[in-house]
Amino acid sequence: MRRREESKPSRTRRRLAIVLGIAVAGVLFAGGLALAASQTIIGQGTDTFNQVTYTTDQGEVVPFQVTGSTHNVTARTNGPDGQALFRSPTIAGGTTGVQGTQYLSAGTYTFYCTVHPTTMQATLQVTSNGTPQARPSASVSVRSKKIAKVSKKGIQVAINTSTKIDGASLTAKLGKSTIGTAGGLSLAAGQQTVTLKLSKAGKNKLRGKSKASVTVTAGIPFGSPASGKAKLT
């Protein structure tokens, strides 16, 4: 029996379908790679993580999902800010990001849930794929010069940051004594000036002095602290 010859329009449609199929497959493959860049850490209602090991590429914020109970993700080692190297908020449902994982270089990192430390322990394996994001950094200088003005209005602090930073803090010290603090600061990228008010005890420390050396230190989440000094008269 003779095979019927395929018409030219049919051949054209078939070729077009093949081309489109390859294109769609390419998009899905690329999308799969993007999704596979970081596995989602899941905290379960059994007060356990759903896996003992998770994988992420460098430069990624690892997703954290809670399907039951209340959990968090907290690295066992500390970072340059003195806090957990990476950490998530404590949540009772939904999904959030594990901040700090985007700065990690390739390697193996252990973590746990501080709410259920004995039953929730796991490992994050960071592959050599991708590139770690640069940690936030800042420089600090104290612009204030006069003790009287500082006591009345606070210390003028110039901060230059590498990127937008949320949750920064400032601490002013006279010798070993803390004379002023501020937390939860949101700093824009670039240079800005922040006024750090003194505490009542801090004002008392300065009262009657003709000279004073103060140090102001900025705490930078996931980055190294930065300090500036000034001599007040």
Over residues 188-212, the pLDDT tens digits come to: 999 999 999 999 999 999 998 999 9
pLDDT of res. 37: 86
Dihedrals phi, psi of 13, to nearest 5 degrees = -65, -40
pLDDT of res. 14: 55
* pLDDT-flagged residues of the chain (< 70): 1-36
The dihedral sign for the CA sequence 114, 116, 121, 126:
negative
CATH hierarchy code of domain 138-232: 2.60.40.10
Q: Do domains 41-130 and 138-232 have the same CATH topology?
A: yes
Q: What are the residue boundaries of the structural domains of the chain, listed by start?
A: 41-130, 138-232
Closest alpha carbon to 192 in 166, 222, 161: 161
The dihedral sign for the CA sequence 222, 79, 52, 44:
negative
Would you put residue 221 in left (φ > 0), alpha (ψ -120 to 50) or beta? beta
pLDDT of res. 149: 94
Find out whether 195 and 154 touch, Cβ atoms under 8 Å: yes
pLDDT of res. 13: 55
CB-based contacts of 219: which residues, under 8 Å, 6+ apart? 81, 168, 169, 170, 171, 225
> What CATH number does domain 41-130 carry, 1.10.10.10, 2.60.40.420, 1.10.3720.10, 2.60.120.1600?
2.60.40.420
Determine the straight-line distance between the first and last CA of the chain, rounded to whole angstroms.
108
d(CA 175, CA 173): 6
Q: Is the pTM of this model over 0.75?
A: yes
11: exposed, middle or buried (Cβ count in 10 Å: 0-12, 13-18, 19+) = exposed
d(CA 19, CA 27): 13
